[in-house]
Amino acid sequence: MPPLSPPSSEIDERIGKKTKLLLITLLLATGVVFFLTSIIHTALTNRQIPKLVISDTDRALHGQILSKEGFRLVFSQKLYKAMVNTKNIDPDKKELFIRLFSIYSGIDQKSIRKRLRAKGNVVLSYSIDANRAKYLKELARKLRLLKVFIPYKDRNGRIIKYGLSLTESGESRIFSYRDLLTPVLGFIRKYEDEGFTRPAGVKGLEKYYRRELMPIQNGIVKGERDIGNTIILDGDSYVKPAIDGMTLRLNITIGLQKAVETLLDRAKEELRAKEAIACIMEAETGKIVALASSNRYDPSNIRRSDYDSLNVSAVEYTYEPGSVIKPITFALLLKEHKVNPFDIVRTYGGRYKLGRKVITDEHKEEWMSAENVIVYSSNIGIAQLAQRLDAVDFTEGFREFGFLQKTGIDLPYEHTGIMPHVTQMRSEIYKATVGYGYGMRATLMQLVRAYNVFNNRGRLVEPRIVSQIIDPFGKKYPVSQSLDTKQVIPQATAAKMMYILEKVVKKGTGTKAYTPGLRIGGKTGTAHIASKGGYANLYNSSFIGFANDKEHRFTIGVLIREPKKKYHYFASMSAVPVFKQIVDILVDQGELKPDPSIR
């Protein structure tokens, strides 16, 4: 008898149980997959959960530049970026936020309101200084207590709780006295360093000492945070201090520099000149105690009209110096024993033909002593005396006086000047013209350094603007100078040149520089400016000399570029009076003390 089949109802019941079991299994599997997916997503996704251990970078700043007295000429301060998420601001308290932020930041309410029109994270300012940043951080705390900021959910359902945040955005270079000592201090450009704006020196001392001024080490603070997201400083925290760049201390005082700049501003205006420049150097040490120009600018706000003033003309502008070169030529003749100051030189009544070139003098003398060729600035006399030097002695002699090379001053982009090649110097014409300062080019700094040889017993020194470099821990390092202070001419020759240059001031072309009670000497130079293969009706007027009392010796150079006031292109009418006023300033400030016994 065949087996009986189960009834259809029992079969349906069994199928239903299997289906339910399968569904339950699928649901459990789906739940497990979802759970694992959530765990993986949570592990791999930034969930905006504050870290227990956080770190903060304290960026170091560039070093300072100080005057001789210790006043801060240039320094750096941090700038902060103020940011807020507009979605976190309670709409009912938006005006309260605007008013308070305006008071604390100094930014007008209209500008803040305009920025807050944007949605999301908004930068209110990139240039909050350190003091305001401190107060704004306190304001941020108060605004949280006042519930000005409210949380909101983003598209992913995350709760966002941001308020007012302040982060370091850059470094601002502050020039405390605006245009004082420019362009010597120089100026900076800005660049980005990992989101932080840094200054970089482009000209002047900022460029020359850029490595010394650069920050040494950024600081780092790392540790556990408290409830206010502030790092807890305890035995487990890590602190590496920020170390700022080196500090430069100059040989220049603010008082003397400012007085000379004011004088040059006035001279430029009165003489209708392109520029007036002056340099004062301590004879024995080479310290530059003032280096000034009438053409200055505010390094914090350079305009297109300032572009011509960005260069330090004392070291970057070369020109044919004219008669101020005559004492250099004469000193070489004395050194080589090829002239005696009392030799008689024929000057042909002020007109002399050398080859096809006609040389003229202002003084129409028939004869002069050799020293009076310098005293009364005879082109004819020095043109003839220069023939006694051979080409090698002439060229090498100028090189030993510091021409055709950099002076070594601590400024970038210094020019070396130009002089004919030794083979050209075999020509009578070249010897004559170079002998009285044409056919060659030099900078004012080269001329001051060369004249300083006379005022420093025949020795050549290297000029220096910076006296010390001070590290962040206060240790001072004197700025090194070249030890090659060679004897260019014998002391006896330097003494003879000093006497002749003093005679120039007492009797010759520099009488307006005379100051009783001081040893004053120097030489005028009025030189045509070359233009398009010839010479324009424009002049550069120079006076290079010295001013000494019984204890102090200063070598001073003055250059007036293109004076246009009628008859004042002569150095005796322009550069010499400025030199005299500089000496008066040195006396007024106690740098020089006239003595009646000095005649």
| Residue 382 falls inside a structural domain | no
Chain centroid to CA 437: how far?
31
pLDDT of residue 1: 47
**pLDDT tens figures, 287-305:** 999 999 999 999 999 999 9
pLDDT given at position 49: 47
Count of domains for the chain = 2
Assess if residue 465 is contained within a domain: yes
Residues 117, 226 within the same domain: yes
Give the DSSP letter of residue 174: E
Q: Are residues 242 and 140 in the same domain?
A: yes
Do 281 and 151 fall into the same domain? no
Q: What is the pLDDT of residues 537-589, one digit of tens each?
A: 899 999 999 999 999 999 999 999 999 998 888 999 999 999 999 999 999 99
Asked, for residue 258, whether it belongs to a domain, the answer is yes
Rounded distance between C-alpha atoms, residue 345 and residue 338, angstroms: 13
Q: Are residues 119 and 93 in the same domain?
A: yes
Domain enclosing residue 178, as ranges? 53-104+111-250
Indicate whether 236 and 262 sit together in one domain: no
Asked if 250 and 68 touch (Cβ cutoff 8 Å), the reply is: yes
Do residues 200 and 231 share a domain? yes
Which CATH number goes with the domain that contains 462?
Answer: 3.40.710.10
User: Do 168 and 282 reside in the same domain of the chain?
Assistant: no
Question: How many angstroms separate the CA atoms of 72 and 70, rounded?
Answer: 6
> CB atoms < 10 A from the CB of 31, how many?
10
Residue 491 within any structural domain of the chain: yes
Same domain membership, residue 226 and residue 92: yes
DSSP per position, 433-479: HHHTT-S-BB-HHHHHHHHHHHHTTTB----BSEEEEE-TTS-EEEP
Residues of the chain with pLDDT under 70: 1-18, 38-39, 41-56, 225-237, 482-484
* Together in a domain, 403 and 548: yes
Q: Are residues 408 and 478 in the same domain?
A: yes
User: What pLDDT is recorded for position 223?
Assistant: 72
Distance CA 350, CA 73 (A): 52
User: The whole model's pTM is what?
Assistant: 0.85
The answer to whether position 178 is within a domain reads yes
Residue 459 belongs to a domain: yes
Question: Both 457 and 559 in a single domain?
Answer: yes
Q: How far is CA 402 from CA 294, 484, 551, 594, in A?
A: 26, 12, 26, 31
Burial class (CB in 10 A: 0-12, 13-18, 19+), 304: exposed
> How would you class 229 by CB atoms within 10 Å of its CB: exposed for 0-12, middle for 13-18, buried for 19 or more?
exposed
Which pLDDT score is estimated for 17?
A: 67
CATH number at residue 232: 3.90.1310.10
Instruction: Determine phi and psi for 158, rounding to 5 degrees.
Output: -80, 145
- Within a domain: 155: yes
Residues 220 and 288 occupy one common structural domain: no
To the nearest 10°, report the CA torsion of 354, 359, 360, 366: -30
Strand (E) positions, 283-400? Answer: 288-293, 344-346, 351-354, 357-360, 367-369
The verdict on residue 30 lying in a domain is: no
